[in-house]
Amino acid sequence: MGGTVQQPIAHECRQCCAFCDRLVEPAGCIEAGCPYLYVYDDETGSRYMGCLNKVFRSEIDVALFEEAQKTRQGFGGVKMTGRPTSLCRVTVERAYRGEGEPFECVNPGFLDGPEPLDGLHSFDVRDRL
């Protein structure tokens, strides 16, 4: 009956005026050959990619992603919504820059991020035998 309820991971911090968000970079998913990255073609012929592990929930238009990757800044990150794996390229982005006490970080632990899942190995029952 019991069991522990896992608390949701906070992927945003609003404790100061900087407003920080954790992002995952889809380009890193491709480079790492992440097994959770999926691609599909819809009925119009457009191709989309997403994350089976829901590290990010948005589905990304592959053509737009590839065009953005050709630019100096690349596609960039998307807001993280789940627990990252060890393959995820995670960053923290500040929404606002400013001077003075209102913009000083009061939650430096947020920058450390959540413990990543260990991919498929975290579900391997042979470790318990």
Residue 46 has pLDDT above 90, yes or no: yes
Please give the average per-residue pLDDT across 41-51, as a whole number.
96
Please give the average per-residue pLDDT across 19-23, as a whole number.
93
Predicted pLDDT at 23: 94
Domain coordinates of the chain in residue numbers? 12-124
CA-angle at 18, arms to 83 and 102, nearest 5°: 135
The pTM score is 0.76
Predicted pLDDT at 70: 96
Please give the average per-residue pLDDT across 11-39, as a whole number.
93
Q: What are phi and psi of 117, to 5 degrees?
A: -70, 155
